[in-house]
C-alpha cells in the first residue's frame, strides 16, 4: 500500500469516524489526518489501523479506537503552548497526536517493551517535543509539573490524587474511571480558582490502570 493510499485512509477515517460524529475541533481533526497511525502498530495488524475499533498491540494492551482518541483529545482542549502529561503511552499514538497540538508532552508507560517501542517510533517520526519514561504513572511526573493537560489512557477505579495535584490552574484532565470488565465513565477533571470539578463525558471500556493504583482497591 502506498503512502498516498494510507493518507486517503486517514482522511476517510477522520471524515467518517470523527467529523460525522461529534469531533469538531479543526486542530484535532488536522492532527489525526497527519499522524501515521499504522506506524504505531505491529506490522501484523497494520491493515486494521484505520478501522473504527481498538486494535491489540501486544502485552495485553490496545491502541484505542480513533474516535476515542479524538474525543479525549478534544475534551482536554489542547492549546499550542500547553504542557501535557499522558499516563499509559501504549503504542505512542495518542502522544503523537498531542505532540502535534501542544508545546511539550511527557508520557509514562509501565510496560518496558511498549515504552521502548513507543519511544523509538516517536523519535523516528521526529516528535522531539515528546519524552517517554518507563515507569508507574500513579505518581505522575512531579519534576515536570504542573501540567495544563493530563490524559490517562487506562482505567483506574479511583483517580490517583497525585495526578489531580499536578494539574495546573485552568488545567484539564481526562480519564476513564471504573472497574475492569465493566462500563467505565470517561470523566473530565478541571481546576479553576483552586476548585476541582468533575464532569461526565460518556461511557467507555479501557484496559485497567496497573501498578500502585491497584493497591487502592
Measured CA to CA, the distance from residue 112 to residue 24 in angstroms comes to: 35
Q: Is 175 helix (H, G, I), strand (E, B) or coil?
A: strand
Q: Which residues pair with 177 in a beta bridge?
A: 185
Measured CA to CA, the distance from residue 171 to residue 77 in angstroms comes to: 10
C-alpha closest to that of 128 among 119, 137, 136? 119
Measured CA to CA, the distance from residue 194 to residue 171 in angstroms comes to: 10
Task: Identify the active-site residue in 25, 53, 64, 123.
Answer: 64
C-alpha closest to that of 205 among 180, 188, 170? 180
E strand or H helix at 61: strand 61-63
Task: Respond yes or no: is residue 91 known to be catalytic.
Answer: no
Measured CA to CA, the distance from residue 30 to residue 1 in angstroms comes to: 22
Alpha helices of the chain — where are they, by DSSP H? 3-13, 26-34, 66-75, 93-99, 112-124, 161-165
CA dihedral (91, 94, 98, 104) in degrees, to 10, reads: -40
Name the residues annotated as catalytic.
64
Amino acid at each position: 500500500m502506498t503512502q498516498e493510499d494510507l493518507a486517503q485512509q486517514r482522511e476517510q477515517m477522520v471524515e467518517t469516524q470523527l467529523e460525522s460524529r461529534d469531533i469538531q475541533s479543526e486542530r484535532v481533526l488536522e492532527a489525526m489526518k497527519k499522524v501515521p497511525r499504522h506506524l504505531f502498530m505491529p506490522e501484523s495488524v497494520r491493515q486494521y489501523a484505520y478501522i473504527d475499533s481498538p486494535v491489540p498491540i501486544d502485552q495485553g494492551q490496545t491502541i484505542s479506537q480513533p474516535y476515542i482518541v479524538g474525543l479525549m483529545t478534544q475534551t482536554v482542549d489542547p492549546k499550542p503552548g500547553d504542557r501535557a502529561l499522558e499516563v499509559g503511552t501504549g503504542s505512542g499514538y495518542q502522544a503523537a497526536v498531542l505532540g502535534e497540538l501542544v508545546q511539550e508532552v511527557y508520557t509514562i508507560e509501565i510496560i518496558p517493551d511498549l515504552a521502548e517501542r513507543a519511544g523509538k517510533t516517536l523519535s523516528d517520526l521526529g516528535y522531539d517535543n515528546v519524552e517517554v519514561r518507563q515507569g508507574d504513572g500513579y505518581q505522575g511526573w512531579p519534576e515536570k509539573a504542573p501540567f495544563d493537560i493530563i490524559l490517562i489512557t487506562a482505567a483506574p477505579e479511583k483517580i490517583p490524587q497525585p495526578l489531580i495535584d499536578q494539574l495546573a490552574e485552568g488545567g484539564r484532565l481526562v480519564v476513564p474511571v471504573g472497574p475492569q470488565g465493566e462500563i467505565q465513565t470517561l470523566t473530565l477533571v478541571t481546576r479553576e480558582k483552586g476548585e476541582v470539578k468533575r464532569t461526565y463525558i460518556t461511557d467507555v471500556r479501557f484496559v485497567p490502570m496497573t501498578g500502585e493504583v491497584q493497591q487502592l482497591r
